[in-house]
Amino acid sequence: MKITAPDRAALLAILERLPRQRVVVLGDLVADEYIYGEIARVSREAPVLILKQREKHIVPGGGANAANNLVDLGARVILLGAVGEDESGEALLRYFHEKQVSTRHVERGRDFLTPTKSRILGGLTHWPRQQIVRVDREPARPLAPAARRRLSRRALPFLRDSSAVLVSDYGYGTTDAREVEWLRRRKGRRPGPIMVDSRYALLDYQHVTAAAPNEPEVEAAFGQSIGNNLERLHLLGRKLLRRQELEALLVTRGRDGMVLFELRRAPVHLPIFGSDQAVDVTGAGDTVIAAFTLAVAAGASFLHAAMLANCAGGLVVMKRGTATVTPREMAEALRNA
């Protein structure tokens, strides 16, 4: 992605303002579990590899990953979500405690299972580890409506002094469009955007500031394939912008970059930042919405916020596993762009 000298100066100035922002994160807290094993032999029971487990660790995923990216970008985060009384939930709470992020507003449910995505990776000694299989453990039922409303009520007092609200809806029921609308009405004219990342319920969210779906989520919302049809992408993007009454819509397209839609403006295509040979795309969408939200909170235009989100996404896919980026990494990349 080519960046003009004036844009580069503006983007670097925005990066310097990121640590002064406070963001409320409301959403599904997911645990990303990585189990690493060394290939020992082929099983006699079936034609499968036997791995000797060497490591296991759990890092934030989903809304927790968005929050983690905000923290590493310098923001102060108010974390609201739910975990179960299980190993994954304890690991997430411990992770944020070590990063000095308060978890006092996280709901703990005895009958709620922390959504966990377990990735099993194998390889030989000194070889790159390859993902073999992923096992997902999900709650049998969404969080109870009473618990969702408790989280919304806990978020309410923070709206006055926060720069933005980031909603991460992965479909596990921690929050939904009804709760976000409840918050929006009580937020009134208080400053700060409401930014939404929703995997399955994109069309339920209206009157929020912006949304950042990926292209398959837009296709699923309207039941239409986009592929390489840019005319259809523009049609659906504008339709979504108007239908949901958004101020901006940022559609991510993998190796084809991003497209920013704003009212009364032509769509802006942002080519991928850096290499199109991604190492690992896990959690890249969380990085994008975190950077986009934080930049808007810091006073950036939607275009400059999208450019920073594009930079952050391009950097994070070059790292293995669920990862984050820092302002220093972004500043260096922008200077060299």
Kindly list the catalytic residues.
286
- Which residues lie closer than 8 Å to 92 by C-beta, 6 or more apart? 29, 31, 58, 60, 64, 83, 114
Torsions phi, psi for 293 (to 5 deg) = -65, -50
In 10 A of CB 311, how many CB atoms?
26
User: Do 81 and 174 form a contact (C-beta atoms < 8 A)?
Assistant: yes
82 beta partners:
107
52 beta partners:
38
DSSP secondary structure, 120-144, as one string: EEEE-TTSPPEEEEEEEE--SSPPP
Buried b or exposed e, range 213-224, using 16+ CB within 10 angstroms: bbbebbbebbee
Which has the closest alpha carbon to 196: 136, 240, 145? 240
Q: How far is CA 189 from CA 159, 160, 185, 236, 298, in A?
A: 11, 10, 9, 29, 18
Give the residue ranges of DSSP H helices in the chain. Answer: 5-17, 63-72, 87-98, 145-155, 177-187, 215-222, 230-243, 284-297, 302-316, 327-336
CA 191, 196, 200 angle in degrees (round to 5)?
A: 160
